[in-house]
Amino acid sequence: MQQVAPLPLVEPSSPLTPSLPPGPRQWPLVQLLRWIRRPIPFMQECAQRFGDCFTVSFPIAGQRIVFFSDPAAIKEIFTGDMENLRAGEANAIVRPLLGANSMLVLDGAQHARERRIMMPPFHGERMQVYGEQMRAIADRSIDAWPLNTPFPIHTAMQGITLDVILRTVFGLDESETLVQLRDRLIRLLSNAAQPFLLLPWLQIDLGPYSPWGKQVRLKKEIDSLLFAIFAQRRAEGTAGRHDILTMLLDARYEDGQPLSDQHLRDEMLTLLIAGHETTATSLSWICSRILPRPDVMGKLRAELRAVVGTGPVTAKHMAQLEYLDATIKETARLNPIVPLVGRRLQTPTRIGGRDLPAGAVAAPCIYLTHRRSDLWPEPEQFNPDRFLGKKPSPYEFFPFGGGVRYCLGAAFATYEMKIVLAETLLRTELHLAPGYIPKMVRRGITFAPAEGVPVVVTKRGAVAAPE
């Protein structure tokens, strides 16, 4: 672990923060910079010093974030009154990117209404429909990976997951609109990967070449592409189509009203952005964990041989790929791509035996909870076996968040990761590029492996076929 200078304490009795748990006493700007630049040493040091609950202060609207890594307190947060514990307000930082109608930034009744209308396309049984497209896209990408030449697997995975989300969400075949949308989204997300652009004071449009100015213009272009797709789909009719846009165009709120174009735009953008980079980053972490481990690779290949044979992997194999599932979970335990989730308190609230003031953000910390040695023996060890035959508590293991805000796309992402990994292992002999040591870098709000995880394909063909 990185050694960092110790932080001074905030006394619980400090007149500035009367009822917040103790935390570092540095200037909020210094805390913010540390959180952006070196979040893991910052969190680890706070946990070592203050235990499983501490307060971090940022100079953004006087933000106080209370980190929790005690499952009992996390249960109180995930099962508490969502009118009081507001995730949408805590997620306000993504509002300029996703729009004010995005489910991620709504709360209370509005959020519940939006979630009800967005749920059906993400039900488990729908995955079989998307699975075929996922496999075809993964196979096409794998066919194009260079042989014996290092390339970043993160970029390859981004290509797969973006195409999967574009096809399943819009049901579009390769077309000029799809090409344009893909190009604008890649640029928008690559700009958004700069964490400083998330800071409200830097979101100023100083013309087409300024960082935020570029985002504003790209967002406008994406908006007009999306509105054109909606209009075209309405004109063509939705009969016989199974994509998510079609389901949402046909969906009605309880009062019989359809989603407005602005709502549709914000929700489509939310799915495109929430569903693409997250899954690609998770897949890259998994590669960085399994490729240097012959024991894990051996078990994965043995399971694939037994369950899938020569492939291709299909819906009927999914439930039997238990070691693959455990590997995905163990990577999400050690390398959650989102380090915490937040709920802003509307009223003073007692959580984990502590009285917190209104306005504070109660934040179940995924990263710290997943590395507690009392919950996870030898927590730093990558050991997928620990998940075999076990269903971990949702307050000890929560890479997809929890409660009524549990990730809408969790089943979709898990299904996609299994298909992409199964096809990769069935069809390639893949290695980490020599000398690569995985480290974490921040990409916007996500934690990603550095350098995109360079890999080398040494063989393409039926690698995991029966001997």
Nearest residue to 90 via CA among 356, 351, 359? 359
Per CB under 6 A, the list member of 96, 159, 399, 454 interacting with ligand HEM is 399
* 87 is an interface residue for ligand HEM by CB under 6 A: yes
* 77 is an interface residue for ligand HEM by CB under 6 A: no
The structure tokens 């953008």 sit at: 269
For residue 145 the two structure tokens come to: 């990976």
Cβ proximity to ligand HEM, 50 vs 400, nearer residue? 400
Question: Mapping DSSP to helix (H, G, I), strand (E, B) and coil, where does residue 40 land?
Answer: helix
String of DSSP letters for 78-94: HHS-TTTEEHHHHTGGG
The sign of the CA dihedral 148, 151, 157, 159 is negative
Give CA–CA dist 280/409, Å, rounded: 13
For residue 365 the two structure tokens come to: 């910390």
In one letter, which amino acid is 95? R
Task: Show the site string, 193-212: x = touches ligand HEM by CB under 6 A, - = not.
Answer: --------------------
User: Under rule CB under 6 A, which residues in 331-350 are in contact with ligand HEM?
Assistant: 337-338, 341
* 233 is an interface residue for ligand HEM by CB under 6 A: no
Per CB under 6 A, the list member of 400, 415, 436, 447 interacting with ligand HEM is 400
Cβ proximity to ligand HEM, 22 vs 384, nearer residue? 384
Give CA–CA dist 111/446, Å, rounded: 23
Cβ proximity to ligand HEM, 376 vs 395, nearer residue? 395
Cβ proximity to ligand HEM, 313 vs 365, nearer residue? 365
Give CA–CA dist 336/364, Å, rounded: 13
Nearest residue to 335 via CA among 290, 302, 303, 300? 290
Burial class (CB in 10 A: 0-12, 13-18, 19+), 12: middle
Per CB under 6 A, the list member of 412, 415, 436, 447 interacting with ligand HEM is 412
Whether the link from the prior residue into 394 is cis, omega within 30° of 0, is no
With beta carbons less than 8 A apart as the criterion, state whether 347 and 84 touch.
Answer: yes
* 401 is an interface residue for ligand HEM by CB under 6 A: yes
Cβ proximity to ligand HEM, 21 vs 399, nearer residue? 399
Cβ proximity to ligand HEM, 45 vs 443, nearer residue? 443
* 133 is an interface residue for ligand HEM by CB under 6 A: no
**Part of the chain binding ligand HEM (CB under 6 A), chosen from 48-56, 152-160, 373-381, 396-404:** 396-404
Q: Tell me the backbone φ, ψ of residue 442, rounded to 5 degrees.
A: -85, 135
Cβ proximity to ligand HEM, 45 vs 89, nearer residue? 89
User: Under rule CB under 6 A, which residues in 101-120 are in contact with ligand HEM?
Assistant: 103-104, 115
Cβ proximity to ligand HEM, 121 vs 311, nearer residue? 121
Task: Show the site string, 252-291: x = touches ligand HEM by CB under 6 A, - = not.
Answer: ------------------xx--xx--xx--x---------
Per CB under 6 A, the list member of 405, 418, 427, 443 interacting with ligand HEM is 405
What is the closest distance, in whole angstroms, from the C-beta atom of residue 83 to ligand HEM in the complex?
A: 15
Give CA–CA dist 272/270, Å, rounded: 5
Give CA–CA dist 371/367, Å, rounded: 7
Cβ proximity to ligand HEM, 24 vs 403, nearer residue? 403
How many residues lie near ligand HEM (CB under 6 A)? 25
With beta carbons less than 8 A apart as the criterion, state whether 12 and 55 touch.
Answer: no
Question: Mapping DSSP to helix (H, G, I), strand (E, B) and coil, where does residue 56 land?
Answer: strand
What is the closest distance, in whole angstroms, from the C-beta atom of residue 337 to ligand HEM in the complex?
A: 5
Give CA–CA dist 142/410, Å, rounded: 24
What is the closest distance, in whole angstroms, from the C-beta atom of residue 166 to ligand HEM in the complex?
A: 11
What is the closest distance, in whole angstroms, from the C-beta atom of residue 193 to ligand HEM in the complex?
A: 16
Query: How do 361-364 and 343-345 pair as beta strands?
Result: antiparallel
What is the closest distance, in whole angstroms, from the C-beta atom of residue 274 to ligand HEM in the complex?
A: 4
Cβ proximity to ligand HEM, 50 vs 387, nearer residue? 387
What is the closest distance, in whole angstroms, from the C-beta atom of residue 332 to ligand HEM in the complex?
A: 7
For residue 137 the two structure tokens come to: 């896209």
Under the rule (CB under 6 A), what is the footprint of ligand HEM?
Answer: 87, 103-104, 115, 270-271, 274-275, 278-279, 282, 337-338, 341, 399-402, 405-409, 412-413
